[in-house]
Amino acid sequence: MGKRLAVRGHEVHLASVNPGNLPPDEVIDGVMIHRASGNIVAHLLVPFMIRKVKPDFIVDSLAHVVPWFSPFFTRAKVIVFFFHLHARSLPGQVSTPTARILTLLERIYPLIYSRNTFVTELSTGVGDLTNLGISPSHIIKIPLGVDTKLFKPGRKTNEPSLIYFGGMKDYKRPWLALEVLKMFPRSNGVTLIIVGDGKILEKMREMSNNYGLDKHVRFTGRIPDGELADLVAASWANLHFSTAEGFGLSILEAAAAGTPTVALDVPGVSEIVNGFGLGKTVGNLGEFPNALNDILNGNRSWSEMVNASASSFSWTKCSEKWESILVGDTPFAP
């Protein structure tokens, strides 16, 4: 979205956190990126960054719970980008005291951003915000887009293959992909590709070995976007196990590549999968085999259906809507 706004003549700055091996400042696709040395430092630098850049408008992303408090440091228009209610995904990720503190921070969003407009991606996010106490008149829904030049249909593998590429965080529960594969008879030839890297990867390799799945599982680690897109397009079904999602971009990317998703039925995920016809949701892990068999047996029709559904999601439309909010007379901002 940032690069599309840059192409349209806007000066776009992105404040981020440096993973440790990137330059502190860099321009990519016309977007000026500023990387702080850590999450805490990034928040402390907010007033200094605002003073340096002197922006006409600011987007406070709430992807990681802790608010940026930008309205306290500027008179510029501040739009708040809300993904999902983190209280659903915090348990197990952080200690109980930390989860309580972060949940409290989430509950005071209405106080911090009392005069600002919130943008969220799905009706689930709208519901989360209204439950927090944000007035519906302060909320605008803008679905994300998908890169259809990158994620596009391709030739499927000869034998049924599953893929997991939804992230390696604990709340994403990637290890459940191995539990699902374990339910299938070894004789049916189903294979599983797990994409991504993280602390949990070693545990998953051990699980695969203990379950006797090593011949049926491939761990790719972190791979280039082009290679990922090819693997997704070649797979027959995408697996998703997250406890919560604001949108579930990997589900949309899979659909654009002609690959339906089978996912656990949780807020956000159920809306995009069932509401837009991108696959099937199930109530528990034991229901995965039947849902997957339905998709594997009707692979061609499912592939065509989800690809057609994904075609309506456009980054161009998304960026145009964001632009209209940022530069237009949007209510409640600031």
Task: Report residue 24 CA to chain centroid gap.
Answer: 25
- Predicted local distance difference test score (pLDDT) of residue 279: 96
Give me the chain's average pLDDT, please.
Answer: 92
DSSP string, 24-40: SEEEETTEEEEEESSHH
How many other C-beta atoms lie within 10 A of the C-beta of residue 195?
Answer: 22
Domain ranges across the chain: 2-145+314-327, 161-310
Q: What is the average pLDDT across 214-229?
A: 96
Residue 92 · residue 54 · CB < 8 Å: no
Say whether pLDDT at 192 is over 90. Answer: yes
Name the CATH code of domain 2-145+314-327 (choices 3.40.309.10, 3.40.600.10, 3.40.50.2000, 3.30.300.20). Answer: 3.40.50.2000
Going by C-alpha positions, the residue among 206, 230, 237, 236 that lies closest to residue 219 is: 206
Q: What is the average pLDDT across 193-216?
A: 94
Confidence of residue 334 (pLDDT cuts 50, 70, 90): very low
Percent pLDDT > 70 in the chain is: 97
Tell me if domain 2-145+314-327 and domain 161-310 are identical in fold: yes
Confidence of residue 331 (pLDDT cuts 50, 70, 90): low
Going by C-alpha positions, the residue among 97, 45, 87 that lies closest to residue 62 is: 87
Say whether pLDDT at 185 is over 90. Answer: no
Place of tokens 């921070």: 105
Say whether pLDDT at 245 is over 90. Answer: no
Q: What is the average pLDDT across 57-62?
A: 95
- Predicted local distance difference test score (pLDDT) of residue 326: 87
- Tell me: the pLDDT tens digits for 91-131? 767 788 888 999 999 999 999 999 999 999 989 999 999 99
CATH 3.40.1310.30 is held by the domain 161-310: no
CA atoms within 13 A on the CB side of 24: 5
Confidence of residue 26 (pLDDT cuts 50, 70, 90): very high
- Tell me: the pLDDT tens digits for 128-167? 999 999 999 999 999 999 999 999 999 999 999 999 999 9
